Amino acid sequence: MSISVAVAVLAIIAVVVTVAILRGRGTPHIDSGTASPTPATTATGQPSTTPLVVYLGNSFVGGSAQDSGPQDRFPALISSDLNTNWIAITSGGSGYVDPGDDGLTFDDLAGEVPENASLVVIMGSDDDAGYPAAKIMDAALTTLQTIRQRAPQAQVLVISTPWVSADPPAGILTSRDAVSDAAHFDNLPYIDPIADGWWVTGPPEQIGDDGLHPTDLGHAQMAERLEPVIRQLLGQ
């Protein structure tokens, strides 16, 4: 690359970064993986089509310092068992309404969903706990519409936020109920981790030292709970 071209590229990057800062927005965190092994053809000689599962959410999906990294989080674990490709599009602290650490809401994350997604799994959000139910539901409906526009053929699985105690704060329950209402309004499959006792019925080691985020064990338990549902939605 010549010096003049390098300077031009750096100038473009600087403009993009500046615009992002002025808008108060960053970029989502994206992890991905492919099914292995993936046959090139099926038994009938037709090209194989490996499902792509997209996961959206905050750090409950994208991970934290409490786990060992993307390969030990529930999207990768489910992918390994079901032989799917996967993408996790996340932003810490974000929600349907709350812009989080990067100035991104779930609707912003939904704008990154690829057209060829087979299934979109969206989880959250505890970070919306301070907002009114009507605002959360409205934002959730907007996000679900964006997902359908981005990937018209994809199924959508809605999961409200997990929580670490059997007696969640009122705001967490408000967020849970608003997300549930949005999912049922759109007639979408829905999972309630609080009602199902995801993080309160297992060993304490499933939650890290910060008292909030799942460890490798916590992610493994989430994968165990979600895998049968995802398998069924993919028709496997």
Which amino acids are annotated catalytic? 59, 210, 213
Nearest 5°: the CA angle 5, 11, 16 is 130
Nearest of 219, 164, 228, 152 to residue 191 by alpha carbon: 228
Residue 166: helix, strand or coil by DSSP?
coil
Q: Looking at residue 46, what DSSP letter applies?
A: P
Report the alpha-carbon distance of residue 173 to residue 117 in Å, rounded: 30
Report the alpha-carbon distance of residue 207 to residue 209 in Å, rounded: 7
The answer for residues whose C-beta is within 8 angstroms of residue 1's C-beta and 6 or more apart is 9
- To the nearest 10°, the Cα dihedral for 101, 103, 105, 110? -110
φ, ψ at 190 (rounded to 5°): -140, 140
Element (H, E) at 121: strand 119-123
The answer for residues whose C-beta is within 8 angstroms of residue 7's C-beta and 6 or more apart is none
- The answer to whether the beta carbons of residues 28 and 89 sit under 8 Å apart is yes
